[in-house]
Amino acid sequence: MDRRARGAAIEAAARGHLRAAGLSEVAANANSRVGEIDLVMRDGDTLVFVEVRYRRSSAFGGGAASVDWHKRRKLVRAAQVFLMRHSRYADLPCRFDVVEADGDPASPRLNWLKDAFRADDC
């Protein structure tokens, strides 16, 4: 499985996991000049920006460990651009989640970290 197909399979698994938990999809792979947001979901009245991180193995740290300060700042900026482009969501509370994935890309183990970081942390 090439990198693009692996990424698509893992994001699809994460999307399904979040939908099963009651979230609804707003957008996927929301691109802007400052970066990409893997998934944008609604959790009730909260808009959730989701970063999906895959590791073949969690032996050297999970995917959340790779969401460092620079990546968080980039995600916050991308979320700001998303909100400017989609003003109907601008007044909703926002949250940043991370979905860690490891193991077989066709059937990954998923760990959903709600409120993994805050925009104020950046």
3-state SS assignment for residue 112: strand
Average the pLDDT over 83-106 and give the result: 95
Please state, in angstroms and rounded to a whole number, the distance separating the CA atoms of residues 84 and 78.
10
- Residue 86 vs residue 55, higher pLDDT: 86
CA distances (Å), 112 to each of 25, 43, 48, in order?
16, 13, 12
Please state, in angstroms and rounded to a whole number, the distance separating the CA atoms of residues 5 and 100.
17
pTM score > 0.75 for this model?
Answer: yes
Question: Among the CATH numbers 3.40.50.300, 3.40.50.1980, 3.40.1350.10, 1.10.3720.10, which is that of 3-121?
Answer: 3.40.1350.10
Model confidence pLDDT, tens digit, residues 10-65 = 999 999 999 999 999 999 999 999 999 999 999 999 999 999 999 876 666 677 77
What pLDDT shows up at residue 106?
87
